[in-house]
A and B are shown apart, each in its own frame.
Chain A
Amino acid sequence: MSSPSSQSPPSPDRRWLIAFAWTWVGVPLAYGLYELVRKATQLFTG
């Protein structure tokens, strides 16, 4: 008799999906932050 863990299929590797999902939201957020920093520096240079 096999144990329940030996019956379950190996779980798929989702590292690429995680990387894609974080890039999907990270790129626009990085753009927003870049624009923010550009504007915020005006406090010290403006």
Chain B
Amino acid sequence: MALDVGGKSVETDEEGYLENRDEWTQEIAEAIAVSENLEMSDSHWEVVNFLREYYEEYQIAPAVRVLTKAIGKKLGKDKGNSKYLYELYPYGPAKQACKIAGLPKPTGCV
């Protein structure tokens, strides 16, 4: 599969996850978000940026509690929970936000 972004074709897998993480740009993220019926707000970006930073260091997306804790520290305790993350990413913060962040889909019993 391929995603068309600004006239350029970007390879994705069957579900729309980027085949090549290095190709990721903010523009591509916006385009994936549109295909997910999401509009990227600053709050959405907070999550995506954290995921990318974490991946850079640990080669995997953060566990949900690591993510909620980090978001809670940054944006206040009332936002450090998965309810808030599901409001931003209704299909599940791990999978939907990873897709937009250009990271591989978490696999397993999750």
The judgment on whether A and B are partners is no
